[in-house]
């Protein structure tokens, strides 16, 4: 971190609490816009409930389409928070400080978007999961039908719900000191609410110690959950031996690294938005973009290596159906076009661009390249799921294809609107940048003069 902007505590409070105490007009407009888009998606869901799955493009043999693609995509994005927050916290990377909270919040809203995206929609008559004769919650053991605990479909909700709880707890623990600051600056009902939320935080040494220990412990404990979530999602596919392109041992790490690639890219996108919309340029500087750009190069290259291995081993099988599916992905329109777009946008353009320092330090370029990554990664999931299910092999009675219907597309768009809406509402209630972390960074900053040069330094524990 070469750019040291020294800010006093008063200035930090004023800057970072501004959105909570003053609501600008753009916020109302943005909330209205995303709210309307979300409601349109919700209406599409209502229509789907009313009419049944026939209104989607799903048909045999492709029974998993845009919903499952979207589910995997959002689970991938949800890996942003833990990657940025937990791992960088454990490795004591200083540049993490202004972006940890936003990344954690992104995790939680991405997880809820994932839950909206697929599981209930795909069950058919989803209301029957709960009412009137529930088959999920509460589970009707009286029927003597036990869930198949060997199925990844049973592991999925366990892992995702654990991850959601752990991530929420992670945010809440880190919010406590900031909530106390808001409490101290509020009056009336707002003060009562924040007093309740901050759990009596007074900033005593014991409270600080407990908060730091809890943060570190949660960071360490949430890591295995983070790994398990996308591993299990990948096993939804990989444990099947009948679908070409799915039965691969590399799927778990390949999905995880893909998730980190798209998640960290999403954080970089969010950082640019935070600077533009919330005017946080004093806190999120080109140095931060440079650091996350470097991280993205490493993650992107690693992801590409896994992608390469996945392909090499698909061909290594020398099995006709597998190779036919790969040919379909690469040579047959429209899959070939999608494949080209996926590869160019998720790897070739962004990783090449990030090699240049000027790109890494440019908000606009980082915004564009990271958006490209996520366009590519969405397509990647689509290309894994749909062509595999098309089963264009011998002795298959139906060579079906798939095209998402307008209902599916509206619901997919609604999940994006949900995320934006969630972030906006969160930013109105809680600070998007952790105040205490920034203040700690300011206190930790030093400079060492060696000869004629002054170099930045920081206090280490």
Partner 1 sequence: MDRNVSDVVAIDRNVSDVAFKNVNNTLVEASNQTNLKWPLIIFAILSLLGFVGFSIKVFVEGVGSQQWGYHAALVAFLLSSIQSAPMVAIAPRVAKAHWRRSTSRIAEIFGLLGIVNLLLFIPLMWILPSLADGRRSLWFYDALEGVSPYSPHIWAILAIVVLAFLGVFYLWLSLLPDFAILRDHSKVGTVRKKIFKFLSGRWWGSSSNWYMHKHRLGIVGAHYFMLLVFVHFLYSMDFCMSLVPGWIDALFPITHAANALQAGVAVFIVTMYIIYRFGGYREYIGLDQFWALSRLLFALSLLWFWFWFSSFIILWYGGKPSERFVLELLMAGPYIYVFIPVFILNFAGPLLIMMWNAVRKSILGPTIVSIGVLIGTMLDRVRLYVGAYSVSTEPDKYALHSVPNTIWPQFSSDVLLWIGSISAVILLYLMVAKLIPLVNIAEQKELLLYKLHKEFHRTKVMVLGKPE
Q: How many residues bind partner 1 (CB under 8 A)?
A: 40
Please report whether residue 252 would count as binding partner 1 according to CB under 8 A.
yes
Q: How many CB atoms lie within 10 A of CB 244?
A: 24
Shortest spacing between CB 303 and partner 1, in angstroms: 12
* Shortest Å distance, C-beta 401 to partner 1: 27
Instruction: Work out how close the CB of 317 gets to partner 1 at its nearest, in angstroms, rounded to a whole number.
Output: 6
Q: Where does this chain touch partner 1 (CB under 8 A) — which range of 24-32, 56-64, 266-274, 442-450?
A: 442-450
Q: Does 253 bind partner 1 (CB under 8 A)?
A: yes
CB nearer to partner 1: pick between 252 and 359: 252
Concatenate the DSSP letters of all residues of 181-196 into one string. HHHHT--HHHHHHHHH
Nearer to partner 1, 59 or 302 (CB): 302
149 forms part of the interface with partner 1 (CB under 8 A): no
Segment interacting with partner 1, rule: CB under 8 A, options 24-32, 114-122, 201-209, 311-319: 311-319
Considering the complex, what minimum distance in angstroms separates the CB of residue 151 from partner 1?
10
Count of C-beta atoms within a 10 Å radius of residue 200: 10
Q: Which of 239, 355, 396, 406 binds partner 1 (CB under 8 A)?
A: 239
Contact flag: residue 248 with partner 1 (CB under 8 A):
yes
* Distances in whole angstroms, Cα of residue 441 to Cα of each of 59, 271, 283, 292, 460: 55, 18, 11, 18, 11
Instruction: Provide the 8-state DSSP code for 59.
Output: B
Coil/strand/helix, residue 287: helix
Q: Which residues contact 75 (CB under 8 A, 6 or more apart)?
A: 110, 111, 114, 160, 229, 230, 233, 259
Least distance in Å: CB of 313 to partner 1? 4
**Residue carrying the six token digits 């993650």:** 299
Rounded Cα–Cα distance for residues 29 and 374 (Å): 26
* Cα gap 373→371, rounded to integer Å: 5
57, 332, 458 from 178: Cα distances, Å: 47, 54, 23
Q: How far apart are CA 24 and CA 29, in angstroms?
A: 9
CB of 458 to partner 1, least distance (A): 6
* Residue of the chain from 61, 126, 400, 456 that contacts partner 1 (CB under 8 A): 456
Select from 34-42, 173-181, 273-281, 445-453 the region that touches partner 1 (CB under 8 A). Answer: 445-453
Stretch that binds partner 1, among 15-23, 126-134, 170-178, 234-242 (CB under 8 A): 234-242
315 touches partner 1 (CB under 8 A): yes
Q: Verify cis geometry, omega within 30 degrees of 0, for the bond prior to 59.
A: no
Residue 405 is a binding residue for partner 1 (CB under 8 A): no
The tokens of 352 are what? 């090449």
Q: Is 227 in the site for partner 1 (CB under 8 A)?
A: yes
């Amino acid at each position: 971190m070469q750019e040291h902007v020294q800010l006093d505590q008063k200035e930090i409070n004023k800057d970072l609490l501004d959105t909570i105490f003053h609501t600008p007009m753009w916020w109302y407009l943005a909330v209205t816009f995303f709210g309307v888009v979300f409601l349109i998606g919700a209406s599409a869901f209502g229509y789907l409930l009313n009419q049944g799955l026939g209104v989607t493009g799903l048909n045999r043999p492709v029974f998993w389409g845009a919903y499952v693609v979207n589910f995997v995509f959002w689970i991938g994005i949800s890996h942003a928070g833990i990657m940025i927050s937990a791992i960088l916290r454990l490795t004591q990377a200083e540049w993490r400080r202004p972006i940890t909270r936003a990344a954690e919040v992104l995790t939680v809203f991405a997880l809820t978007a994932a839950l909206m995206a697929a599981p209930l929609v795909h069950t058919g008559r989803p209301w029957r999961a709960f009412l009137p004769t529930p088959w999920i919650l509460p589970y009707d053991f009286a029927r003597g039908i036990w869930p198949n605990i060997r199925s990844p479909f049973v592991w999925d909700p366990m892992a995702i719900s654990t991850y959601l709880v752990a991530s929420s707890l992670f945010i809440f623990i880190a919010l406590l000191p900031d909530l106390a600051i808001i409490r101290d600056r509020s009056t009336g009902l707002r003060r009562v609410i924040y007093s309740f939320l901050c759990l009596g935080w007074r900033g005593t040494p014991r409270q600080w110690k407990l908060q730091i220990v809890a943060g570190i412990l949660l960071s360490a404990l949430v890591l295995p959950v983070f790994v398990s979530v996308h591993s299990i999602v990948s096993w939804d596919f990989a444990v099947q031996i009948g679908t070409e392109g799915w039965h691969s041992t590399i799927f778990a790490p390949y999905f995880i690294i893909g998730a980190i690639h798209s998640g960290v890219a999403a954080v970089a996108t969010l950082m640019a938005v935070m600077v533009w919309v919330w005017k946080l340029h004093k806190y999120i500087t080109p140095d931060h973009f440079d650091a996350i750009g470097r991280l993205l190069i490493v993650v992107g290259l690693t992801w590409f290596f896994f992608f390469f291995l996945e392909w090499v081993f698909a061909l290594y099988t020398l099995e006709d159906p597998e190779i036919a599916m790969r040919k379909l992905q690469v040579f047959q329109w429209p899959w070939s076009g999608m494949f080209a777009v996926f590869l160019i946008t998720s790897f070739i353009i962004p990783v090449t661009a990030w090699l240049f320092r000027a790109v890494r330090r440019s908000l606009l370029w980082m915004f564009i390249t990271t958006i490209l990554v996520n366009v590519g990664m969405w397509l990647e999931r689509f290309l894994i799921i749909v062509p595999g299910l098309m089963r264009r092999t011998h002795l298959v009675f139906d060579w079906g294809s798939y095209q998402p219907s307008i209902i599916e597309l509206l619901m997919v768009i609604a999940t994006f609107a949900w995320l934006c809406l969630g972030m906006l509402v969160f930013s109105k209630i809680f600070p998007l940048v952790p105040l205490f972390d920034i203040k700690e960074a300011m206190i930790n900053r030093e400079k060492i003069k060696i000869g004629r040069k002054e170099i930045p330094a920081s206090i280490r524990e």
